[in-house]
Amino acid sequence: MSAQEYAFLVLAFVGCVSAVRLVTTKNVVHGALYLVLTLLAVGGVYLILGAEFIAWVQILIYVGAIVILFLFGLMLTKAPIGRDTLDNQQRLVAALVGFGVFAGLAFLIQGAFEWADAPDIALVHTDTGAIGSSLFSSYVLPFEAISFLLLAALIGAVVLARKDEPR
């Protein structure tokens, strides 16, 4: 086993444990902090895969912006504590469905790749400039669409969260 593989296994373990804790914790603020841990582990996996630009984007946007938004959302709504107020009654069915999804995906992955001749992932450095030129040559139309989507989402969020004028 190489150092790369050890690092991946440790990060995947941390990510899986904190993902499980995220969906089972009794305290919403702890949930947000477990989300940070999961996102950091996923960012580390991106680094191991050689996608350093995506890794920093993950840490900047997810950990820096989205989790802060979540914490503001928790702050502005009353955040209840306790299993019965956080979870609904279908916990067992949900666990069955989640396990079924994992079993189905694992079956498909196992069937799609033989372990012996599965593609190796060597640690290669991806050029961030290559992402930029690909983004602005082949995928310029989706890029414009996504910028329009972000603008519409910003305006929509402002309009939705604004206090109504008293009539």
Partner 1 sequence: MIRLPMILFFSAFLFSCGVYGVLARRNAVMVLMSIELMLNAVNVNLVGFGAALHDITGQVFALFIVAVAAAEVGIGLAIVILLFRSRGSINVDEVNLLKW
Q: Which of residues 70-89 bind partner 1 (CB under 8 A)?
A: 70, 72-74, 76-80, 85-88
Q: Are 32 and 66 in contact (CB under 8 A)?
A: no
Give, as ranges, the residues between 112 and 131 that touch partner 1 (CB under 8 A): 113, 115, 118-122, 124, 126, 130-131
Q: Are 35 and 22 in contact (CB under 8 A)?
A: yes
Tokens at residue 117, please? Answer: 């001749």
Smallest distance from partner 1 to CB 123, Å: 9
Q: Are 67 and 35 in contact (CB under 8 A)?
A: yes
Binds partner 1 by CB under 8 A, chosen from 40, 56, 63, 150: 150
Q: Is 4 exposed, middle or buried (0-12, 13-18, 19+ CB in 10 A)?
A: middle
Tell me if 140 contacts partner 1 by CB under 8 A: no
Binds partner 1 by CB under 8 A, chosen from 37, 49, 165, 166: 49
Tell me if 153 contacts partner 1 by CB under 8 A: yes
Amino acid at site 34: Y
CA nearest 35: which of 9, 6, 74?
74
Give the contact letters, 6-45, x = binds to partner 1 (CB under 8 A), - = no.
--x---x--xx--xx-xx----x--xx--x--xx--x--x
Tell me if 98 contacts partner 1 by CB under 8 A: yes
Q: Is 44 exposed, middle or buried (0-12, 13-18, 19+ CB in 10 A)?
A: buried
Binding residue count for partner 1, defined by CB under 8 A: 88
